[in-house]
Amino acid sequence: NDEYSKKVQEALSSAASTKSNLEEKLSSEQEAHEKALRDLCTALESEHASRIEELENALSKERSVFEERLRESLADLQRQHEEAIDRLKAQHNEELEAKKRAFEEETKQQATPQLDNKYEEELIALKVELKDMRATVKPIFVIKNRIIDKLKHENSLLMKQMKEQRNKIQRLENELEEAKNSNQLFSIVSGDHSSSLQDEIWSLRSVLELRSQENSSLRSEMEILRDELEQKVALEQRVETLEARCEDLKAQLESKDSYERDISQQNELVVASLREISKHNKRLAQKNEELVYRLRQKSEVVSVLANQLATPPRLSRSLGPENIEHTPEKPASSSSPMIKFMVQKGDSVSWTLEIDESCEAQPKNNGATTPKVPRANSMRMPPRKANDFRARSKSVSTAESMKENNWGSMYSSTPVPVRRRPRSDPSNSPAVQQAVNTNNELQAGPRPQEAGGEAMISEEASATSSDDESSASTDMPRLSMEFGWSDPAE
């Protein structure tokens, strides 16, 4: 037993010594491991810090370059957009000014159907332009709204992902700090795991940077879209003003159309009244011409009678042989002047009067007979030439004188023979004096040809003149004018 106890004691002492040795070795190894771990941590931290600084510097440089490029591109896009907007505004203002000037110039002038057609074409063009603008603006608004919704959705997703990545990074950092603080860092964290964690951390940070850049670009795009939306709202307001202007122009055109219709009706009434007045004036002129011509005819007959009555027989004896044939003699037969032919042309009448008379010689003239003399020569007066009894076809109108069918009854073509008292001056009689005065007054007035030239002949008379000439000789009867020449009393 003593030996066994000794052996046990020796074994225990050897075990205690080995235990102490092992504890010393373990403590020394633990210290060495702790020292190596501390060195490794310091080295990793320094390397991590340097790597982080390098990456941050590179990221800052890339960010600055990217931001500069982005600013330049945004500035270029904004400048181009502003130039396009300014150009469109200038064109639109020029078009509006041109249309305004044209509208003002056209409103100053008298409204015509051509201007109305032009206004209608402009209204149609403006309506088409408004429809096109609406058709172009609506899909743009729809697309932009869709883009904005999509960008908002992507922005919300990116924000969520950024929050998740930040939470993950924070969680990993907390785990790293906890691992550093714990004594079990060496057993848990190995070299491969630490490198993977570092790589994951860097990848997450790079993703975070990319997401932040995408967010900044999305914000810039949202600002640009917001500006474009504001411009589109301004364009919509402009379109509404143009629509109001178009409605105003349409109302003005309607008022002008009604005013023009009233003016056209008034013009038609005025033209109709002028036509009636001109027709009435023509009829009055033709009637006046006809009356003047009749008065001239009657005055010629009266003047011839007055001259024959005023010429004494002794003066007729003293006249030469050249004037003998023009002296009034008693007709041998009862021949009367006849109208050779008469032509009726619409509203006018033309005839030629030829008077043939046979005069017998007085007993004192040795029974000599004179030949038949035309009435134009026998009615010649000394102070003026013989008048032409032929009237132009356009000088006498019968449009208004058709009612006076009995005008011939007012004047007899066969005058009553007037017997003068012997030894009395026939020129002192009141009838002859009145006839002479009438003849003098009519000689001062216009001739039948001049009066006929002053009257206007209607187009219907000239148009139907050729058709009426063929039937004029059969329609109008021959008029006989008989003049009874009495012997002058001795």
Q: Check whether 379 has a pLDDT greater than 50.
A: no
66 in a structural domain: yes
Name the nearest CA neighbour of 484 among 353, 333, 300, 315: 333
Global pTM value: 0.25
452 in a structural domain: no
Predicted pLDDT of residue 24: 84
What tokens appear for 345 in the block? 């042309």
Question: Could you read off the pLDDT of 221-233 as tens digits, one per residue?
Answer: 878 888 888 888 8
User: What distances in angstroms separate CA 156 from CA 150, 151, 163, 456, one per listed residue?
Assistant: 10, 8, 11, 98
Supply angle C-alpha 335, 341, 344, rounded to 5: 140
For the ranges 243-247, 267-271, 279-283, 322-326, which has the lowest average pLDDT?
322-326
Higher pLDDT, 188 or 401: 188
56 in a structural domain: yes
Which pLDDT band holds residue 284 (cuts at 50, 70, 90)? very high
180 in a structural domain: no
The CA distance from 308 to 484, in Å, is 12
Chain-wide mean pLDDT for the chain? 66
383 in a structural domain: no
Per the DSSP assignment, residues forming a β-bridge with 349 are 344
Higher pLDDT, 38 or 490: 38
> Domain of 52?
39-76
409 in a structural domain: no
**Exposed/middle/buried for residue 355 (C-beta within 10 Å: 0-12, 13-18, 19+):** buried
Stretch 462-488: mean pLDDT: 44
53 in a structural domain: yes
Stretch 237-263: mean pLDDT: 84
221 in a structural domain: no
User: What distances in angstroms separate CA 413 from CA 338, 359, 443, 480, 486, one per listed residue?
Assistant: 11, 19, 21, 7, 16
> Structurally, how many domains does the chain consist of?
1
